[in-house]
Structure 1
Amino acid sequence: MIPTLDMHSTLILSLSVIAVVIVDRLARKKRASGGLPLPPGPTGLPLVGSLFSLDKRDVFYTYRDWTATYGDMVYARFLNEEMIIINSEKIAVDLLDKRSNNYSDRPFLAALKPYGWGFSFADVNYGDYWRIRRKLFHHTFRADAVAKFQPMQISKVHQLLANILECPEDYAAHLETYNSCITMSIVYGYDAKPRDDPLVDITSKAMHGPLKVFTPEGCPLVNAFPFLLRLPTWFPGATLARHARASHDNIQSMGVAAIPYMEKKMINGTAVPSLVTDMLERLEEVEADKKAAFEAAVKDVMTTTVAGASETTTATLLVFILAMVLHPEIQQRAQVHLDAVVGRDRLPEFSDRELLPYVEAILIECMRWEPVSPIGRPHTATESDVYEGYYIPKGVTIVANAWAMSRNESAFPNASEFKPERWLDAEGRLTVDGPPGFVFGFGRRVCPGRWAADAGIWIALCSLLANFEFHKAKDAKGREIDFVPTFTTGFVRMPDPFPSRVVARPGFDSERLAQWVRAST
């Protein structure tokens, strides 16, 4: 969604001389192309380019629609921001994976620091600063290290089941609490309250809102007119500046909220394994003159981890519930499968995962069917390049449209349909070892927390399926309410509230849950 401006801001923009910069930049790019054409794309209007051609809610629809006219690699300009949109997984792999040395950088984001997001190593330029933080993150979240979080994830999913049993109508809020509790525990070793935890509330407040201005369609406006972020908050038209100041303050509050808890746990020796404890162990090995830089990197990694996990797990689980409500036959088949493997006298465990291919196929299909990060974080070209005869300018923003890739009919026949069986062979065995590559991004900037996220989503999805039924809500006359799903906008996309009922499966109640939890500990 493109950030909106009031009348005063529009006046400021109209008086700007940015048009000169735009024309000069475009002229330089074309002169540097050596005669090769840019990828085809919409002509656009003077000054604004194709900004007004975008779907105001979901720009990835527009990007995908352009494929029919211009192909799978499209060039477009939005104000002074040049962009190449990739709607094909093959092209994304060819460029972002196979030529990752040239496509691992990030475009400039004028809003990053004013909004308080200067900590995010996911958005910084490719170089030593990023490598240090990525290495620290990888130490805790690599594939062979995340198993240490499984007991905590099991504990939090039991808490989730209890919350939904007590207040099933608030399942969306319970999913958000589940996600936040896991993140707080992994990062800080913080044991959050089942509900209304103050630190979870602070984190949630900090994460909601600012991401829209970081989307590729939102960035050109702020990048072209960064002074809008520095206006006094009392100044007429300072809407973006006020939003930035509020976001910055919320992020600062989030960054210090857990410090007293962490200090107390470390002093009395009760700290549990977490990213913080991992980093403190490593700090002892760091040379004295490098400790300050190391501590700054650790702080960035901690905050980036909290921010990166803030909504994606919740969004994926809401997509799962939506799919089950719309497809009761799939839900029933999955529950028969679960009952045969897990039974009805215990809760699912991670050791069950390899024995539940149909449940795994549901998870993979959720990620494919409605990707929660439909356009991901943008890349940029470090140097000019050529791909299949088209010129790719240095510094151009590269957007990989995961949503368009998820709708590729050649790869996924009847792509708009939810069909878990597309991931299984005739004997019911999985034909893949994970979700499609576009789900977690590409190249050296692929999501580094994907293994921990995947585990947290799987155990929740499996536990919910085993113990609850998901149905359409009914009206006053007892008739099911039909609906067409709608989705939120922004960097993370999730279903809007939809009419649904969550009902405990026969034999599952709070007493049985408590019994099973005691038996599993």
Structure 2
Amino acid sequence: MFDSLTFFDLLLLVSATGTLSLLVLKYIRTARLRASLPPGPRGVPLIGNIFDMPSSREWERFTEWGRKYDHAENVGRQELHLFGPPEFPMLGEMMGWDRGLVLSHYGERFRTFRRLLHRFMGTRTVVAQHHDTPENLIEHLRRYAKTYQRVGALDMTWRSRTAGAVVLDLCGDELVHIAEVASLEFSRAATPGAFLVDSLPFLRHFPEWFPGAGWKKLGREWRADTHKVVDTPFEYVQKRRTAGIAGTSFVDVNTKDNMSEHDADILKWAAVSIYFGGSDTMVSATSSFFLAMTLYPGVMKKAQAELDAVVGSHRLPTFEDRDRLPYLNAVIKEVLRWAPVTPFGGHHRLMEDDIQDGHLIPAGSAVIVNIWGLLHDEKIYSRPMIFDPERFIATEKMSSEIDPHSILFGYGRRSCPGMHLADASLFLYIATILAAFDISKAVDDCGRVIETNAEFTSGLVSHPSPFQCSIKPRSLDAISLIREANMVEP
């Protein structure tokens, strides 16, 4: 019988046998643990809840599960436990992102990343050193306003002279394209359930020609894009340094003469981790701000009235004005709560067995915090689907609701190292836009108002679905400020 088998037939037989063995072992282990695991949707033998995983608006399904299966009394419990290895074979080993901060296991490489990022932007005091001088503020606003629709936060995170000076002084269509492509691929691959191999990691061992293994070819193509976005800007900085051009970027500051290959690898991956941690998220937050102002014009008018009273109409706001702008700060908090940029934040992995509320969470399990669910929990926020900055302003009759910053930026070792920089940058951008522009619903060629809804895309980073709005200067004074700042093309 076996003499008639071809090599590929034999390989298929071995692969199928190995797969069946792994599934049986998984089923036995799951059966042993089933009685002590937390409650959840009933899965299918051997493959669990793979087919229950939503492909869009995941946060809503996870919130539904949280309400149905959570028997804990503590408020705001929104966790999803995935009893399988959160290895992300597609994003990690196939695309190469296991070299970066997000997928690094806790150890020396991870700790080195955190030390580098903390020294550069880990505290409010350090971030204050990156605040713009008046002349650089104008340059930053001009570049950011001109490129918002095209590249979003690219200038903000990859320039060496502005408040977003975190990586390098480099721009241009080629890098813009490289960054945009890699960002989209990263977001897609990091979405829970996007690729079957992330739920069944043993599929990584199957050859590319095997049915269902087409993701390997896609992974190889995306890996090339990963290397481009990691290597290209780093090489640019090194060439600039060789030419004697000094910079103040993250890479410039941390580059040393005769760096070892290991140290260079750490530095360039730390740099790209900064960019990917802040670029797409900044575009998401500012886009959500424009959507909110389009839908809630009363909020915009109130924030503008506060700006007029504190700043006046003859200059743009600065960081020094922030403490005197409580309503504007509340608007920023509500943007982050109403439309969280990362609905699930970073994934966590248990290093050892843990007991929570009498239930076992096995070592190796992935724990995903449903940030969207927490920020829209009626036990925490009143009327959570409504955009209402007043919830963050205490009165004699009511205390303010929980600051979303304490939820949005993650927890423990995996908390966002750039949270203070992101907060400062978002304040500067929103304050400037509100001081200079009115935002309203767009109208078509016949003068009819174009209605829009608060809808958002799925993915690791969520964005408002495409919408239209009208952006116009507020006054003659605003036009003068815009021209002075060169925020638009002449």
Deviations 1:377-431 (A, max 9, x none): 2111111111121111111111100011011112101011111010002289995
Deviations 1:120-146 (A, max 9, x none): 122111122211221122111111212
Contact 2:160 2:249 in 1 (8 A): no
Instruction: Describe how 1:102-501 pairs up with structure 2 within 5 A.
Output: 107-111=86-90, 112-143=92-123, 144-151=125-132, 154-155=137-138, 157-160=140-143, 163=146, 172-173=149-150, 175-179=152-156, 181-182=158-159, 186-192=165-171, 197-218=173-194, 221-224=197-200, 227=203, 231-232=207-208, 239-280=214-255, 283=256, 291-426=260-395, 431=400, 435-501=404-470
Which residue identity is paired with 2:141?
H
Q: Distance in 2 between matches of 1:428 and 1:333?
A: 21
Which residue identity is paired with 1:396?
S
| Equivalent residue number for residue 21 of structure 1 | 22
Judged with a 3 Å threshold, the aligned counterparts in structure 2 of structure 1 residues 37 and 510 are, in CA distance, closer, same or farther, namely same
Contact 1:371 1:439 in 2 (8 A): yes
TM-score, normalised to structure 1, is: 0.80
Shift of 1:456: 1.3
Shift of 1:275: 1.1
Shift of 1:235: 7.9
**Backbone CA RMSD of aligned residues:** 3.5
| Equivalent residue number for residue 76 of structure 1 | none
Judged with a 3 Å threshold, the aligned counterparts in structure 2 of structure 1 residues 366 and 188 are, in CA distance, closer, same or farther, namely closer
Contact 1:154 1:459 in 2 (8 A): no
Contact 2:87 2:201 in 1 (8 A): no
Q: Distance in 2 between matches of 1:87 and 1:52?
A: 30
Is 129-138 or 261-270 further displaced after alignment? 261-270
Which residue identity is paired with 1:244?
G
Q: Distance in 2 between matches of 1:372 and 1:392?
A: 28
Q: Distance in 1 between matches of 2:402 and 2:40?
A: 36
Q: Distance in 2 between matches of 1:72 and 1:313?
A: 36
Shift of 1:178: 4.5
Q: Distance in 1 between matches of 2:235 and 2:254?
A: 17
TM-score, normalised to structure 2, is: 0.84
Judged with a 3 Å threshold, the aligned counterparts in structure 2 of structure 1 residues 354 and 293 are, in CA distance, closer, same or farther, namely same
Q: Distance in 2 between matches of 1:264 and 1:303?
A: 18
Shift of 1:259: 3.9
Contact 1:357 1:428 in 2 (8 A): no
| Equivalent residue number for residue 79 of structure 1 | none
Q: Distance in 1 between matches of 2:403 and 2:45?
A: 45
Which residue identity is paired with 1:412?
Y
Which residue identity is paired with 1:68?
R
Contact 1:189 1:271 in 2 (8 A): no
Q: Distance in 2 between matches of 1:30 and 1:351?
A: 60
Consecutive unaligned residues of structure 2, counting only runs of 5 or more, are 1-11
Task: Indicate the SS of the match to 1:149.
Answer: coil
Shift of 1:458: 1.2
Q: Distance in 2 between matches of 1:212 and 1:199?
A: 20
Q: Distance in 1 between matches of 2:415 and 2:192?
A: 17
Judged with a 3 Å threshold, the aligned counterparts in structure 2 of structure 1 residues 342 and 253 are, in CA distance, closer, same or farther, namely same
Contact 1:110 1:223 in 2 (8 A): no
Judged with a 3 Å threshold, the aligned counterparts in structure 2 of structure 1 residues 23 and 416 are, in CA distance, closer, same or farther, namely farther
Which residue identity is paired with 2:252?
T
Consecutive unaligned residues of structure 1, counting only runs of 5 or more, are 1-10, 74-85, 97-105, 165-170
Judged with a 3 Å threshold, the aligned counterparts in structure 2 of structure 1 residues 206 and 415 are, in CA distance, closer, same or farther, namely same
Judged with a 3 Å threshold, the aligned counterparts in structure 2 of structure 1 residues 408 and 59 are, in CA distance, closer, same or farther, namely same
Contact 2:234 2:268 in 1 (8 A): no
Deviations 1:180-205 (A, max 9, x none): 5459973443153xxx5432332222
Q: Distance in 2 between matches of 1:190 and 1:271?
A: 10
Q: Distance in 1 between matches of 2:223 and 2:479?
A: 42
Shift of 1:366: 0.8
Q: Distance in 2 between matches of 1:433 and 1:486?
A: 24
Q: Distance in 1 between matches of 2:447 and 2:364?
A: 58
Shift of 1:345: 0.7
| Equivalent residue number for residue 3 of structure 2 | none
Task: Indicate the SS of the match to 1:417.
Answer: coil
Task: Indicate the SS of the match to 2:99.
Answer: coil
Which residue identity is paired with 2:392?
W
Q: Distance in 1 between matches of 2:24 and 2:392?
A: 49
Contact 2:342 2:462 in 1 (8 A): yes
Identity of aligned residues (%): 28
Deviations 1:454-479 (A, max 9, x none): 11111111111111111111134323
